[in-house]
Amino acid sequence: MATIVGDLDIPQLPEFGPDTDRDVRLTALKDAAATSWIARGMLGYNILHYGDVIAVLRDKRWYSAVGLINEMQVVTNEKYKARPRRTSILSADGDEHVRLRRLVAPAFNPRSADRLRPFMADVMNSLIDPVADVGSCEFVSAICEPYPIPIICELLGAPKEDWKLFSRVASDILRIFNGNLDRDAELIMQAQDDLDEYVRMLIDKRRSEPREDLLTDLIAAEEAGDRLTTEELVTMVEAVIIGGTDTTRNQLGLAISVFAHHPEQWALLASQPDLAPRAVEEVMRYFGAVRATGRYATEDIEYRDIVFPKGTVVFPTMGVANFDDSVFPDPATFDITREPVGQPQLTFGSGIHYCLGASLARAELQVALPLLARRMPNLSLTGQAEFKPATSGIFGAEKLPVSFESGH
Ligand code: HEM
């Protein structure tokens, strides 16, 4: 007979808070993964092995818990609590999600991402130029933070001058995932209002002047007579701005923090830029910016002879599943020449919510890393790398003081 998940004898994870060191947290999760595919945490169950993470993410009875984020955190700000919540593609599920995804997916094809590669290289070169002769910089503020913004502006067809607004609102809105809603509520609301006003203005403009860009494609997105409503369009554009900026910039910073400890791999990438696709997959496997996501059971779900009662929350933990040695041999070794194993790293998720911007993010990182490796040889940290709190939904470096050989 199936066992109820609450009765299972499984590892209990220690309490993690914003101050818990990331290595302590990761070690606890990896220790649990050594003996069990599932562990009990404070808010739900962490799913730790590769096959099980995929199985949960592909099982449509589990819905995205993104919409529950507000309920899962203590928030006393009345204005915040009273605000109507919108469903975005990330928090939608069932038929609503299928419809949205079908309408917008064609606009995110790999070809439109590839078209932007020369532009991406120009952006990256223009960021490296001012520091190239200096031979040192704080990498996060000089390179990571600005990099994705002109690219998202170009993709959407938004004027370049607006990059500062994009950059700020993306970071502030993503504070909802940082586990401190009470402190951040005012900033989040302000950013949501600013973005809303901006996106409506942009859509109005593009309706009267269609161009060759993502926004025009989204406005035209139509399938069998169906169309995005203005509200859906606004929410979709916001999802692209938010999902497409902080993720990529943090992933780039994590990549550099890893390469700084593996100088031979950095030199290898500089001399063999065609290793870029493998290097990106390896960096995302080894140190991904999104380490876990959340799902809740929409009905009683039986899996592996275990019953997960309706409402149970689980966290498919991609950051640990990416170290599953039944899929990735010798997982603790960082190796950009690693042969593809036919099963992808999981930092873009899996199943119906699989990252819509994966082609774009891959292109951005595949362009950036070999260029950086060539123009910043002998890169090393000159001080302590500082990271975001371990509870950050999108994890990344806050400060990476680096030096490198100048003049390239
Ligand atoms: C390295 C960079 C990125 C990482 C690590 C990343 C990661 C993810 C993950 C893990 C999910 C699934 C979440 C879940 O299942 O709950 C997701 C969904 C999504 N991502 Fe990304 N992402 C990245 C870049 C981007 C970019 C550049 C864009 C936009 C251009 C984007 C737009 C989206 C959207 C719209 C979704 C929702 C898809 C859906 O629910 O159907 N992401 N991303």
- Three-class secondary structure assignment of the chain: CCEEHHHCCCCECCCCCCCCCHHHHHHHHHHHHHHCCEEECCCCEEECCHHHHHHHHHCCCEEECHHHHHHHCCCCCHHHHHCCCCCCCCCCCHHHHHHHHHHHHHHHCHHHHHHCHHHHHHHHHHHHHHHHCCCEEEHHHHHHCCCHHHHHHHHHCCCHHHHHHHHHHHHHHHHHHCCCHHHHHHHHHHHHHHHHHHHHHHHHHHHHCCCCCHHHHHHHCEECCEECCHHHHHHHHHHHHHHHHHHHHHHHHHHHHHHCCCHHHHHHHHHCHHHHHHHHHHHHHHCCCCCCCCEEECCCEEECCEEECCCCEEEECHHHHCCCCCCCCCCCCCCCCCCCCCCCCCCCCCHHHCCCCHHHHHHHHHHHHHHHHHHCCCCEECCCCEECCCCCCCCCEEECEEECCCCC
Q: What pLDDT digit, counting tens, does each position of 329-350 carry? A: 999 999 999 999 999 999 999 9
CA of residue 400 to ligand 1 center, whole Å: 24
Evaluate if residue 226 carries a pLDDT over 70. Answer: yes
What's residue 328's pLDDT?
97
| Ligand 1 pocket test, candidate residues 47, 287, 355, most atoms within 8 A of CB | 355
Q: Is any ligand 1 atom within 6 A of the Cβ of residue 294?
A: no
Which band of pLDDT confidence, cut at 50, 70 and 90, is reported for residue 69? low
The HSE-up count of residue 6 (CA atoms within 13 Å, CB side) is: 7
Pocket test for ligand 1, best of 98, 217, 236, 247 (most atoms within 8 A of CB): 247
Tell me which residue has its CA closest to atom 23 in ligand 1.
247
Task: Read off φ and ψ for residue 338, nearest 5 degrees.
Answer: -50, 130
User: How far apart, in whole angstroms, are the C-alpha atoms of residue 158 and residue 81?
Assistant: 32
Greatest mean pLDDT among 63-77, 177-191, 311-325 lies in: 311-325
Residue 73: pLDDT over 70: no
Atom number of ligand 1 nearest to Cα 57: 15
Dihedral, CA of residue 338, residue 31, residue 298 and residue 4, to nearest 10:
140
Q: What are the structure tokens assigned to 250, written together? A: 């943090």
Q: Is 142 in the pocket of ligand 1 (CB under 6 A)?
A: no
Structure confidence at residue 70 (pLDDT): 59
What is the structure's pLDDT at 312? 97
Q: For atom 43 of ligand 1, which residue has the closest CA? A: 355
Q: What's the confidence (pLDDT) of residue 159?
A: 84
Residue nearest to atom 1 of ligand 1 (CA): 248
Alpha-carbon dihedral 234, 96, 152, 144, rounded to 10 degrees: 120
List the structure tokens of 92: 């939608």
Residue 71 has pLDDT above 70, yes or no: no
Sort 84 into a burial class: Cβ within 10 Å, 0-12 / 13-18 / 19+: exposed
Q: Does residue 358 have a pLDDT over 90?
A: yes
Classify residue 80 as exposed, middle or buried by CB count within 10 Å of its CB (0-12, 13-18, 19+). Answer: middle
Confidence at 257, pLDDT banded by 50, 70, 90 = very high
Beta carbon of 317 within 6 Å of any ligand 1 atom: no
Ligand 1: atom nearest CA of 155 is 30
**312 within ligand 1 shell (Cβ under 6 A):** no
Pocket lining: 89 vs ligand 1, CB cutoff 6 Å: yes
151 lines ligand 1 (CB under 6 A): no
pLDDT at 74: 65
Residue nearest to atom 41 of ligand 1 (CA): 353
CA of residue 353 to ligand 1 center, whole Å: 8
- Between 384 and 179, the higher pLDDT residue: 384
Find where tokens 């409506």 sit.
Answer: 200
How do residues 96-134 score in pLDDT, each as one tens digit?
Answer: 999 989 888 888 889 889 999 999 999 999 999 999 999
Q: What's the CATH fold of domain 70-291+343-403? A: Cytochrome p450 (1.10.630)
Any ligand 1 atom below 6 A from CB of 353: yes
Q: Which atom of ligand 1 is nearest to the CA of 362?
A: 1
